[in-house]
Amino acid sequence: MDDQLLINKFIDSLWLEAGLSKNTQSAYRSDLQKLSLWLLQQNSCLHKARREELLTYLAAKMKKGAKSTSSARTLTTMRRFYRYLLREQLVPEDPTLKIEHPRVQRSLPSSLTESEVDSLLDEPDKDLEIEHRDAVMLEVLYASGLRVSELVGLHLEQLNLQQGVVRVMGKGGKERLVPLGDAALDALKDYLSAVRPLLVVGGGQSVVFPSLRGREMTRQTFWHRIKLYAQRSGIRKNITPHTLRHAFATHLVNHGADLRVVQLLLGHSDLSTTQIYTHVAKARMQRLHSQHHPRG
């Protein structure tokens, strides 16, 4: 039984049953292809893999410096894959059943202060069409907390400028409405009328933020654009594609937003994913207490 064929069938099932995003599907595919290659070197294959081999593979990854988060994701992939094979009666048993999940130390996401966000958002030169586009993308990202993949994949029909909201299809095909706020809404209206028409190549393109070629921008391209503006504005922090999303959530919590509201805005299916931001609020309260309490 060909490993690649099994992987393809599994990925197809993910799309049909769970509606997982292309990025998630790609991550699953990558994990399984790496495992398949390693098993091949051990004279084995995916549908014949034993628990001991999978444990050895995970240990080898850790020895090479893989973080616990990476190993946990790999194990999640393997579990989902072998449950699919078992359900389809392609393997006699699930070799991942008695493999324990590695303990993942949940750290606070990298974020920016409000003044750093202001500096970043003010950095693009709006006299340049491309930088004007980037400025609006940064404004919308910080105002809405969208995932970068959701931002670059945004199409005109998802915008409701009259109501000031954007309709987003998130992970697992779950739809949510996210308000934009006055600053982002005004910037978006100005961009759509004055700048976007100059960037669109050919008619019928509906992508809101087209690339230089008039197509949908990649996440990696936008990440490089963010890093460029961070460098120009003097921000020395490690900027990731999710930095402004984390800043959005952090600043909401710091200003008293209810965690359930933040969960809805971020599109988290489980509140436990959002609860990491309670540590942000706790740290802020402790800092304020020590600064202002007479016995702090």
292 as an active site residue: the answer is no
Q: 158 and 67: one domain?
A: no
Residue burial 167-192, b: 16+ Cβ < 10 Å; e: rest:
ebebbeeeebebebeeebbebbeebe
Which residues constitute the domain of residue 49? 3-87
Region class of 173: left (phi > 0), else alpha (psi between -120 and 50), else beta: left
Is 251 a member of any domain? no
Q: Is residue 182 part of a domain?
A: yes
Q: Which residue has the higher pLDDT, 55 or 240?
A: 55
Are 123 and 226 members of one domain? yes
Average pLDDT taken over every residue of the chain: 81
Rounded-to-integer distance, Cα 130 and Cα 199, Å: 8
pLDDT at 117 over 70: yes
- SS3 of 179-190: ECCHHHHHHHHH
**pLDDT value of position 129:** 93
Q: What pLDDT, on a 0 to 100 scale, did the predictor assign at position 98?
A: 82
Does the annotation mark 167 as catalytic?
Answer: no
* Confidence bin at 288 (pLDDT 50/70/90): very low
- Looking at 190, 219, 238, the residue that finishes a domain is 238
The catalytic residue among 171, 176, 227, 284 is 171
Give the per-residue SS3 of the chain.
CCHHHHHHHHHHHHHHHHCCCHHHHHHHHHHHHHHHHHHHHCCCCHHHCCHHHHHHHHHHHHHCCCCHHHHHHHHHHHHHHHHHHHHCCCCCCCCCCCCCCCCCCCCCCCCCCHHHHHHHHHCCCCCCHHHHHHHHHHHHHHHHCCCHHHHHCCEHHHEECCCCEEEEECHHHCEEEEECCHHHHHHHHHHHHHCHHHHCCCCCCCECCECCCCCECCHHHHHHHHHHHHHHCCCCCCCCCCHHHHHHHHHHHHCCCCHHHHHHHHCCCCHHHHHHHHHHHHHHHHHHHHHHCCCC
**Domain presence at residue 109:** no
Q: Does residue 171 have an active-site annotation?
A: yes
Domain count within the chain: 2
Catalytic choice (277, 282, 287, 292): 277
Same domain for 220 and 123: yes
Q: What six digits make up the tokens of 209?
A: 């933020």
Q: How confident is the model at residue 264 (pLDDT cuts 50, 70, 90)?
A: low
| pLDDT for 289 | 44
Would you place residue 225 in the very low, low, confident or very high pLDDT band (cuts 50, 70, 90)? very high
pLDDT per residue as tens digits for the range 186-209: 999 999 999 999 888 765 578 999
Half-sphere exposure at residue 24, Cβ-oriented, CA atoms within 13 angstroms: 17
- 133, 196, 225, 245: the catalytic one is 245
Nearest to 236 by CA among 85, 82, 119, 63: 119
Looking up residue 185, the CATH number of its domain turns out to be: 1.10.443.10
Answer yes or no: is pLDDT of 104 > 70.
Answer: no
Q: Is a pLDDT exceeding 70 seen at residue 210?
A: yes
| Residue where the block lists tokens 């936008």 | 222
* pLDDT band per the 50, 70, 90 thresholds, residue 108: low
Q: Is residue 294 part of a domain?
A: no
Do 20 and 62 meet the contact criterion of CB atoms below 8 Å apart?
A: no
- Active-site residue among 133, 225, 242, 246? 242
Same-domain status, 65 and 179: no
State yes or no: pLDDT of 287 exceeds 70. no
Do residues 232 and 159 share a domain? yes
Q: Which residue has the higher pLDDT, 205 or 278?
A: 205
Residues 126, 80 share a domain: no
Establish if 149 belongs to a structural domain. Answer: yes
Identify the domain boundary among 50, 71, 87: 87
Q: Tell me if 271 is assigned to some domain.
A: no
Residue 47 known to be catalytic:
no
pLDDT: is 181 or 89 the higher one?
89
CATH number at residue 19: 1.10.150.130
Output Rg (C-alpha) for the chain, integer angstroms: 22
> Does any domain span residue 160?
yes
| Co-location of 20 and 128 in the same domain | no
**Domain-located, residue 284:** no
Which pLDDT score, from 0 to 100, does residue 247 have? 80
CB-based contacts of 65-73 (< 8 A; 24+ apart in sequence): 68/102, 68/103, 68/104, 68/105, 69/104, 71/102, 72/101, 72/102, 72/104, 73/27, 73/31
Higher pLDDT, 222 or 240: 222
Respond yes or no: is residue 213 known to be catalytic: no
Average pLDDT over residues 96-106: 71
Q: Which of 133, 196, 251, 268 is catalytic?
A: 268
Which listed residue (147, 196, 225, 246) is catalytic?
A: 147
Give the pLDDT confidence of 42-53 residue by residue, as tens digits. Answer: 999 999 999 999
Map tokens 């098993």 to a residue. 39
Same domain, yes or no, for 170 and 75? no
Q: 66-75, 155-164, 170-179, 243-252 — which one is most confidently predicted on average?
A: 155-164
> pTM for the complete prediction?
0.60
Q: Are residues 218 and 175 in the same domain?
A: yes
Contact between 276 and 107 under an 8 Å Cβ cutoff? The reply is: no
With bands split at pLDDT 50, 70 and 90, how would you rate the model's confidence at 277? low
| Of 50, 68, 87, the domain-final residue | 87
Say whether both 127 and 205 belong to one domain: yes
Active site residue 28: no
Do 77 and 121 fall within a single domain?
A: no
Whether the Cβ atoms of residue 281 and residue 253 lie closer than 8 Å to each other: yes
Range with lowest mean pLDDT among 55-59, 186-190, 259-263, 271-275: 271-275
- Do both 24 and 136 map to the same domain? no
